[in-house]
Chain A
Amino acid sequence: MRWLLGPSWVWLLLFVAAPAAILAGIGLLNPADTVPPLAGPIGLGGYGGLADPFYLRACLGSLAVAAVTAALCLLLGYPMALAIARSARRRLLLLLVMVPFWSGILLRLIAWIGIFRDEGLLNSALRALHLSAEPVPLLHSDATMLVGMVYCYLPFLILPLEARLATADRRLEQAAADLGAGPWQVFRRVTFPLSLPGVRAGLALVAIPVSGEYVIPELLGAAGTPLIGRVIWDEFFQSGDWPQAAALATTLLAGVLLPAALLQRRRPR
């Protein structure tokens, strides 16, 4: 069956390996007014600009958003995953979690815009209850963005975690209970430690895409919040500074691939 490898090899080298190399390479060039807007000489190029505090803030901001989103997803999602894993209707419940997962990020954000906008659902509720005469600006804020992030990425946490919880050996919990452990102790000492690989995978699957997210901050977030995904987009499309965008993207690439590779290594095969 080895001859089947040929086309895949060609494709992967051309469309995965080569673009990554080109991306890292373009970061070494300088911006210009030509087409494409690149000029020599090869040097530090865009990487030299990375020390700018603005980019540092964007990186830290993205890290913080990724961490907070992942933590909120874990808080909300762990009991859901446990409930699904213990349910007799597991398959149906999993499907219910998956339908929003695949049903289009844009379309689901439409609803949140409708809820949070000035003339939206929440504001008219506030007005009806005479809590506020003027519309409260809810839409473009960090909190709204986090709601959108958790909403869109929650299934990414639930699916791997539930898979882990469902395969855990229930007899261990039974044994702990028989030996006198209370429900909370059983959870803390047996259920949770056994589910840790699923927790790790779920947190990574949320944090990694969130760290480079562009659409959700753009539609729900505050206008000026610097996040790495938005900064890369703006450097590329607005400023036309390709080396800077490429250097930032290479940094994000390394920041995503290194933890992912480590996680892969730790996972028992």
Chain B
Amino acid sequence: MTRRSRFLSVWLICGLGFLYAPIALVVAMSFNAAPMMTVWSGASLRWYVQLWHSPALMEAAARSLGIAAASATLATLLGGAAGIALARAGAFRGRALFEGLIAVPLVLPDLLIGLALLLLFIALEAVTGWPSGRGVTTIILAHATASLAFVAITVRARLAGLDDTLEQAAADLGATPLIVLRRITLPLIAPALAAGWLLAFTLSLDDVVIASFTGGPGATTLPMVIFSSMRLGPTPVLNALATLILALVAGLLLAAWKIAPVAARGTRD
């Protein structure tokens, strides 16, 4: 082993330590019987029990899971269609604008997405009467908008790696476009769609800023509850919650990675 590669390995290990030490700390503290981080008084599940008996947190968690599932599904439908079109439609009118609009939510800070969509909902309500007030529905629409680009890019990348001979062959044999889509294209991109759905789900479950803007009274999501109690000072119950969510997300990410490595790479590159 050369001196340079040893330096790189040590640096990498330290870097991963920096990324994982705080996470390990939270997981360890969630099983600590003492409420303080600085005292270890034995292993205990008391914070998990207390979490189970916190109606505000559990209710927000259920709401957030619902929002995440709905917005991920919507983002997958829209982003999937956009991804297929981008990979297979060739040149079409306004393609540059289309690609630009798809990419915009990828680069914008959440704050801008949230504020702009809130103003849209208010303007829409003033003109058409819909949506009357804001709540779960508007959060779902906003989250779907923020994450559909991830699905589109994942699907596009998957299709770009496959030439369209299968689709051509099916069409030559008399399949209508709808049958080509259903029997050929969709099965080909199924892994990308699944991975995209999982990523959209994760993004929604982690968002506090967009939901704060586009939500309304009675639509408090789990990250919003966590955020406001973190401002006051985190409680040990949050360590337990963090550990559970971490396990969920790591599991989902592992699944996405198994299904389609390119998707889990974030496609932000």
Q: Using a CB–CB distance below 8 Å, which chain A residues touch chain B?
A: 1-5, 7-9, 11-20, 22-23, 26, 36, 76-77, 79-80, 82-84, 86-87, 91, 93-115, 117, 119-121, 124, 151, 154-156, 159-160, 163-164, 183, 198, 201, 205, 208-209, 211-215, 218-219, 229, 232-233, 236, 242, 245-246, 249, 252-253, 256-257, 260-261, 264
A19 adjacent to B117 (CB under 8 Å): yes
A103 adjacent to B115 (CB under 8 Å): no
Residues of A with C-beta under 8 A to B230:
106, 109-110, 113, 219
B102 adjacent to A19 (CB under 8 Å): no
Residues of B with C-beta under 8 A to A93:
12
Q: How far is the CA of A124 from the CA of B249 in the complex (A)?
A: 32
Chain B nearest CB, measured from A14 CB (Å): 8
B202: interface (CB < 8 Å)? yes
Residues of B with C-beta under 8 A to A100:
19-20, 23
* Contact status of A264 and B112, CB under 8 A, knowing A96-B16, A110-B234, A219-B230: no
Q: Using a CB–CB distance below 8 Å, which chain B residues touch chain A?
A: 2, 4-5, 7-9, 11-12, 15-16, 18-20, 22-23, 25-26, 29, 36-38, 77-79, 81-82, 84-85, 88-89, 92, 94, 98, 100-105, 107-112, 115-117, 119-120, 122-123, 126, 141-142, 145, 148, 152, 177, 181, 185, 199, 202, 205-206, 208-209, 223, 226-227, 230-231, 233-234, 238-239, 241-242, 245-246, 249-250, 253-254, 257, 261, 264-266, 268-269
Residues of A with C-beta under 8 A to B11:
79-80, 83
A104 adjacent to B25 (CB under 8 Å): no
Residues of A with C-beta under 8 A to B123:
22
A15 adjacent to B141 (CB under 8 Å): yes
Chain B nearest CB, measured from A25 CB (Å): 9
Chain B nearest CB, measured from A235 CB (Å): 10
Residues of B with C-beta under 8 A to A260:
103, 107
* Contact status of A98 and B234, CB under 8 A, knowing A23-B116, A252-B112, A257-B107: no
Partner of B120, one of A11, A22, A109: A22
Please report whether the interface of chain B is mostly helix, strand, loop or mixed according to DSSP: helix
Chain A nearest CB, measured from B249 CB (Å): 5
Given A15-B142, A102-B202, A109-B230, 17 more pairs with CB closer than 8 A: A5-B85, A8-B85, A9-B98, A16-B145, A19-B116, A96-B19, A98-B264, A99-B250, A103-B246, A104-B245, A105-B206, A107-B242, A110-B234, A111-B26, A163-B269, A229-B111, A246-B119
Residues of B with C-beta under 8 A to A119:
36, 38
A1 adjacent to B89 (CB under 8 Å): yes
B89 adjacent to A112 (CB under 8 Å): no
Residues of A with C-beta under 8 A to B84:
1, 4
Partner of B268, one of A5, A159, A256: A159
* Contact status of A83 and B8, CB under 8 A, knowing A16-B145, A22-B119, A103-B246: yes
